[in-house]
Structure 1
Amino acid sequence: MEHKKKLEVLAPAGSFESMKAAVAAGADAVYMGGSRFGARAYADNPDEHGLLEAIDYVHLHGRRLYMTVNTLFKEEEMGELYQYLLPYYREGLDAVIVQDLGAMDFMRRNFPEIDLHASTQMTITGVNGARLLKELGASRVVTARELSLDEIRRIRDQVDVEIESFV
């Protein structure tokens, strides 16, 4: 398997101001939560208008924005996911970071152009889990934080999926 050597610096951005600072500091991409379905519920997350503006801002600067939709979903919440994501999808959102497998499947079917990143909260620790998530539509797997470089390398060598790891 041939590997691309491109490294991406991805920074968290809890607010519009921290997103601008990350872009100014050279981040290739930022991840942010919206007003709902994010694990950092009490962060200074932007409202819909603010997140749409953030997508435009990063694209204007040649960067990417990934949105966290990384909570576990209750069945009755799934119906709200389409209307929630639609404006960001239309604005050109680059990827969604997902924890819930049902939500991931829903997004893959309803928003096929958005890249899906399997959240670190999925706790992917090896080749089998990474391979399964790739088969389910993930373009990127965020490895479990506990993994060593050797364990991450093993996944990279055996699964053709982008790998993101916290440093």
Structure 2
Amino acid sequence: MQTSKLIGVLFLGMSLGASTAFAGEPANKAAGIKLNCPAGSSQFGNAADGLYCRKTVSADGYNVPHGPYSAYHEGGKKSVDGQYVDGFRSGTWVYYDKSGNVTEKIQFSRENYNGKREQFFANGKPRLVEEYVAGKRQGLTQEFSEDGKVVRQTHYQDGREVAAK
């Protein structure tokens, strides 16, 4: 009996957490940062947890992220910049370190990696470059040393490694 009550409490907590994950604060409390929200959406969130636009998609008030997304490090520099389309990450998302250097760029389509994914060293040179199609690695993946030399190359087809050197 105790186990079922505990599971019920945990489930309720997770449900409430999930429903408020994109609740946020109205835009006027988000430190003056203004996103260019598409028509029919409003800005929510905060600089630390992320600012985003959301739209209501059902009569019961269910909201989904739709439009630009940005988050900021404690010092005020941007940590993430991206775009949501109907609740899914889409387009190129860019991640930054606390100094403002780009650490990663990822292309998404409906929440799947789709296109190029790049990771960078602090000096701005590529660390990893790979291609994805519908969430699966496809084509050439290259890993580099900090001085820009290729240290490993792997070819993928439909998410499976087919050759490496």
Q: TM-score range by the shorter chain?
A: under 0.3
| Higher relative contact order (CA closer than 8 Å, sequence separation 6+) | 1
Q: Which has the higher helix share?
A: 1
Q: Which has the higher strand share?
A: 2
Larger radius of gyration: 2
